[in-house]
Amino acid sequence: MDHTNQERKIIKIMVLLDRAVSLEELGQIIKVDKDFLVELDRIEFVKSEIENEKIIYEIAHDLIGETIEEQLVDDEKKELHQLIAQRVEEIHTEELDSYVMELARHYFYTDNREKAIEYLEKAGDTAKASYNNQQAIEFYDKLLNLLSETEVEKRIDMMLRKGDVLQLIGKWKECIDTRKISLVLSEKNNDQFRMAKSYQQLGLIYLQKGNYDEAMKYFE
Mean pLDDT of the chain: 94
Q: Taken in order 170, 176, 181, 187, is the CA torsion positive or negative?
A: positive
In whole angstroms, give the CA distance from residue 201 to residue 179: 7
Sketch out the chain's domains with CATH numbers: 1-72 (1.10.10.10)
CB under 8 Å to 25, separation ≥6 — which residues? 91
C-alpha to C-alpha distance for 89 and 104, rounded to whole angstroms: 11
Query: 88-107, pLDDT tens digit by residue?
Result: 999 999 999 999 999 999 99
Inform me whether the pLDDT recorded for 217 exceeds 90. no
Q: Which segment of 49-53, 66-70, 75-79, 214-218 scores lowest on mean pLDDT?
A: 214-218
Tell me what the mean pLDDT of segment 147-167 comes to.
96
Average pLDDT over residues 25-35: 95
**Which helix or strand (DSSP H or E) is residue 180 part of?**
helix 172-188
